[in-house]
Amino acid sequence: METAASAANVQRLDEFRHPSSCCPSVCRRYCGAHVGGSRAERRPVFLEVSHEVGMVEACMDMLPGIIIVLGAPNHDQGRLSSLARERCDQAIALAQTHPGYKILLTGGYGEHFNRTSNPHAWYTRNYLLARQIPAHVLLGWVESSNTIEDAELSWPVVEQSGVTQVIVVTSDFHVKRAEYLFRQTFPAHIHLSFSGSQTHLPPEELARLSQHEHEALSRIIATRRRDRSGAD
């Protein structure tokens, strides 16, 4: 059975090496590159690589934009939760209306969302492939474990791609926190938009998740304000 570790067409960004036939513009951006920062050093970035020429699929200089799909829980057998499937379905719809955009997946490992031997993004990748998303549309994934790392680890990939148009896909109840964190992480010249998938859960469970998001965002804002005031 193919796993994330054995897939022939997935390669770590910091291990990427080019053949003699590699596109020069791709080489400039990717070959020998690494993602900086302490979090990123612990969380590798994987890129989809063409079987034919061993290079990142498509010239990044021609890439119009990136769709970032935030991770959600999967079961211990790797089956995606309804939240994860809804986000993937939203990304599929966006890919159909944004030709040329690549999809970047997020999600590694964590007790609260993925306890399997493969990163969460491996399962969302397979879900998208099974629903006729071509492999060349998938840019790769970052092994993040929370929304903060989603933003921090996605930014180096976006930066090296050269794009300025980014759509972040998450659940409707999670949009506000995701937007705050991504706008805090990404520079102002990146045009960020946010697309919330409709959540189909019992009302009481959705209310609980919405309350959790409200409290989490309030804590993040309060902490960052204290940090800024302490620095002053």
Output 193 or 2, whichever has higher pLDDT.
193
Sorted by where each begins, the domain ranges of the chain are 59-200, 201-232
Q: For 59-200, which CATH class? A: alpha beta
Per-chain mean pLDDT for the chain:
82
* Predicted TM-score of the model (pTM): 0.79
Which pLDDT score, from 0 to 100, does residue 50 have?
A: 41
For 58-62, 87-91, 183-187, which range has the lowest pLDDT when averaged over its residues? 58-62
Residue 210: pLDDT band by 50, 70, 90 thresholds? very high
Which pLDDT score, from 0 to 100, does residue 227 have?
A: 85
For the chain, percent helix, then strand, then coil, each to nearest 5? 45, 20, 35
Which pLDDT score, from 0 to 100, does residue 29 have?
A: 36
Which pLDDT score, from 0 to 100, does residue 61 have?
A: 56
pLDDT in tens, 111-131: 999 999 999 999 999 999 999
Beta bridge partners of 102: 66
Percentage of residues of the chain with pLDDT beyond 70: 73
Output 194 or 45, whichever has higher pLDDT.
194
Give the whole-angstrom CA distance, residue 57 versus residue 114: 28
Mean pLDDT of 169-186: 98
pLDDT in tens, 92-103: 999 999 999 999
Residue 63 has pLDDT above 80, yes or no: yes
Q: Say which DSSP state 51 is in.
A: T
Which pLDDT score, from 0 to 100, does residue 229 have?
A: 80
Give the whole-angstrom CA distance, residue 206 versus residue 184: 26
Residue 42 has pLDDT above 70, yes or no: no
Buried b (16+ CB within 10 A) or exposed e, 56-69: bbbebeebebbbbb
